[in-house]
Amino acid sequence: MSRILGLPALLIALVIGGVLVAKDMKSNSPASPTVAQEIQQAQVNVAATNFQGADAQMGAIFAQSGTYVGATLPASFGVVLVRADASSYCLQTTSGSEHEDGPGGSPQPGGC
């Protein structure tokens, strides 16, 4: 008798396990809205940190030469100097998703 009930009990356990895994994947998978929002916020924070380092470097360049013309940034900053003139510059993330007009600007969506 226990052999007859064993197979259906196993199938029921597998179905319940499958339902629980599917439910967990909806809320904890990389495609879930919560995880996607956390990833996006982390990318914004990294970009802000990269801009801060590049701003300090640009300030040092200006203090030394009195202009931003001819300035370059190493790739390690994670941002690219797109435009530089005598009194201002524009930095952009390497992905082009954010930019900052400097000096004294704040990160904004989109490219320069």
* pLDDT tens per residue across span 24-54: 767 666 677 887 888 888 888 888 888 999 9
pTM for the full model?
Answer: 0.64
Radius of gyration, alpha carbons of the chain? 26
Q: Is 17 left (phi over 0), alpha (psi -120 to 50) or beta?
A: alpha
Is the pLDDT confidence value at 7 over 70? no
d(CA 108, CA 112): 9
List pLDDT tens digits, range 52-99.
Answer: 999 999 999 999 999 999 999 988 888 999 999 999 999 998 888 889
Which of 95, 92, 87 lies closest to 73 in space, CA to CA? Answer: 92
Q: Please state the domain extents for the chain.
A: 50-109
